[in-house]
Amino acid sequence: MSAVNENQGGKFKILVGVLSLLLIALAVYTITLFNDSKTKVSNLESQKVEIERELESLIANYDEIIKDNEIKDKEILAARERITVLLDSVKQAQANVNLLDRYRTEIDRLKRERTILFKRADSLIAANKRLLQERDSTYLELHNSRTLADSISRENESMSETIKRASVVKARNLRGEAVIIRKSGKVLNTNRASRADKIRACFTLVANDIATKGNRTLYLQVTNPKNNIVGERAFIQFENGSFFYSASTNVFYENEELDVCILVDVSDNDLIEGNYNFNLYDEESLVATTSMELK
C-alpha cells in the first residue's frame, strides 16, 4: 500500500512538472506573440506615416508649380485635389498590410501622373515665357518706334517752325511821315498835324529765298498820341491772333528787295500833335516798327 501511494505521488509530481512546463511555454509564446504583434503594429504605423509624408511631398510639389508659375491647368488642380483626399483617407484609416499595399500602388500611379502632368506644364510654362519675351520685345520695339516717331515729329515741328519764321519777309528802313497831297498829285512831307492830309509809311522788303513767292498782303497799324488807331480801323483774324489795322496793300513778292509805301486816310480829328507809332505786319507776323512826331 505504501509503495502504491509512493508511485502515485511520483506520477502526480511528474504531471505537475509537465503542466508547469506547459504553462511556462504558453506564457513565453503569449509574450512572444504579443511582442510580434506590437512590432507589426508599430511597423505598419511607421509605413503609414511614410505614406503620409510621400503624399504631403506630392502635394507640396503641386503647390510649388502652381504658385511659382501661376498654373491654372484643370488636370493639375484636379490631381492635387485627389492627393489631398487620399491623404485625409490615409490619416483616418487603421493601418493594415492590404490597405497599405493599395496606398503604395496608388502613390506609384500618382507619381507617374505627376511626371506626365509636370512635363506638360513645363512645356506650357516655356511656351508662355517665349510669348512673354516676344510680347516684351514687341512692346520695346513699339515703344522705341513711338519714341523715334515722337522725336521725328518734334524735329519736324521745330524745323517747320524754323522754316515758317525764316520764310517771313522782313522789312527794313520803315519810316512814318505825314504828307500833303497836292491837286497835281504831288506828295510833300510835313511835320505839322494841322497841315497833313494823310499818313504814309515807306519801307523796303528784304530779299528772302525761303519766303513764298507771289502775292502778299501787308498790314499797317498806326496809333496816334491818344493811342487810337487811325485810318480804316479794320479788324483781321488769323489762326494765332488778331488785330485792328489802319491800311493794307497787296504786293507781288519775287524773293528780291522791293520798295513799298502805304498811304493811310485819316480824319482831321485823328491828326493831333504828339507821337505816332507804326507797326508793319506781313500777314500775322510783325516785321517792323517805327514812330514819328507831329507838331
83 and 198 assigned to the same domain: no
Within a domain: residue 163? no
CATH code assigned at 288: 2.60.40.10
Cβ of 196: how many Cβ atoms within 10 Å?
A: 22
208 and 111 assigned to the same domain: no
Question: How many CA atoms are closer than 13 Å to the CA of 70, on its beta-carbon side?
Answer: 3
Domain that holds residue 201: 171-294
Domain end position, chosen among 103, 124, 145: 124
Within a domain: residue 62? yes
Q: What is the grid cell recorded at 201?
A: 509809311
Within a domain: residue 129? no
pLDDT, position 283: 84
Please check whether residue 59 is in contact with residue 80, taking contact to mean a CB–CB distance below 8 angstroms: yes
Domain end position, chosen among 64, 94, 124: 124
Q: What is the pLDDT along the chain (295 residues), one digit of tens a residue?
A: 555 555 666 666 676 666 666 666 665 556 555 544 555 556 767 777 787 787 788 778 777 777 766 666 777 777 778 778 777 777 777 766 676 677 778 777 777 877 777 777 667 666 667 777 777 777 777 777 777 766 666 765 655 555 555 667 888 899 999 888 887 778 888 888 888 888 999 999 988 887 888 888 999 999 999 999 998 899 999 888 889 999 999 999 988 889 999 999 888 888 889 999 999 998 888 989 999 998 8
Q: What does the alpha-carbon distance between residue 256 and residue 249 come to, in Å, rounded to a whole number?
A: 18
Cβ of 167: how many Cβ atoms within 10 Å?
A: 14
10 and 97 assigned to the same domain: yes
Within a domain: residue 283? yes
Give the CA distances from residue 238 to residues 37, 235, 244, 283, in Å, rounded to whole numbers and listed in that order.
109, 10, 12, 8
One-letter amino acid of 124: L
180 and 68 assigned to the same domain: no
Within a domain: residue 270? yes
Within a domain: residue 29? yes
Q: What is the pTM of this model?
A: 0.47
177 and 289 assigned to the same domain: yes
Give the CA distances from residue 277 to residues 15, 175, 223, 224, in Å, rounded to whole numbers and listed in that order.
155, 10, 5, 7
- Report the number of distinct structural domains present in the chain: 2
Q: What does the alpha-carbon distance between residue 142 and residue 286 come to, in Å, rounded to a whole number?
A: 43
pLDDT, position 111: 76
Name 20's Cβ contacts closer than 8 Å, sequence gap at least 6. none
Within a domain: residue 161? no
267 and 184 assigned to the same domain: yes
pLDDT, position 202: 93
Within a domain: residue 70? yes
Please identify which residue in the block is written with the cell numbers 493831333: 272
Domain end position, chosen among 90, 124, 158: 124
253 and 180 assigned to the same domain: yes
Residue of 86, 111, 113, 114 lying closest to 100 (CA atoms):
86
